[in-house]
Structure 1
Amino acid sequence: MPTTDQVLEVLKEVHDPEIGVNVVDLGLIYDVAIQDGQVHVKMTLTAPGCPMHDTIARAAEMAIETLDGVEKAQVEMVWDPPWTPERLTDEGRRLLGF
């Protein structure tokens, strides 16, 4: 069974194509739940109207499904609370030049 840290590590391979920073360091991951080989992730995007919504969600699911013990991954897009730049990790701030 994977750990939350392992899920977050593989999600660092998924980048917002418009910003060029991974979804973890952008602060887009709100929750990771793991149970019986199923991984459910709640995430958001920097803007609700992002046209890459489905592409980013599917890329995240595919990355999670590479982990041993994961039978299925599901990414749920949520918009509450809205994303703000305060959610950036220190690495995200560094990558964006803040």
Structure 2
Amino acid sequence: MSENEQTEKKENAVMEALEDVIDPELGIDIVNLGLIYGIEIKDNLCTVTMTLTTMGCPLSDMISNDIHNAAESVEGVDSCDINLVWYPIWDMSKMSRFAQIALGIGG
């Protein structure tokens, strides 16, 4: 397996692990909410680029800790940085069909 394939496999594993990180206000994981914009792994450092549903929504210590724990649970990832961005602006269209149905806004 090439180095690029190994990196992609780790990035996919991190995305899968992040599905266990639940937004405490909405009760839906941050992946299905569409908050994760990208995952990049360089050496053993993972950078999670993400946004929040609103600028006023604080990235609580709990969510931040959950993101770090999830990413660092993947073999070959030793540490995780969170790159919080506000563009592109999050809106409900970024949510998965699952999240929309769970919140009663899609179907």
- Give the TM-score normalised by structure 2: 0.83
1:37 is matched with which residue? 44
2:19 is matched with which residue? 12
1:70 is matched with which residue? 77
CA distance in 2, matches of 1:94, 1:3: 29
Moved over 6 A (4+): none
Once the two structures are TM-superposed, the CA of residue 58 in structure 1 deviates from its matched residue by 2.6
Count of residues in Structure 1 that have an aligned counterpart in Structure 2 = 97
**Is 1:90 matched with 2:60?**
no
> What's the % identity of the aligned pairs?
36
1:59 is matched with which residue? 66
Which structure's relative contact order is higher, taking Cα pairs within 8 Å and 6+ residues apart?
1
Query: Could you say which structure has the higher helix fraction?
Result: 2
Letter in 2 for 1:69: G
Residue by residue over 1:29-64, the C-alpha shift from the partner in whole angstroms, topping out at 9 and shown as x without a partner, is 01110111111010011011113x142223211111
Q: CA RMSD in A?
A: 1.3
Letter in 1 for 2:23: D
Letter in 2 for 1:50: C
Once the two structures are TM-superposed, the CA of residue 25 in structure 1 deviates from its matched residue by 0.1
Residue among 4, 14, 29 paired with 1:22: 29
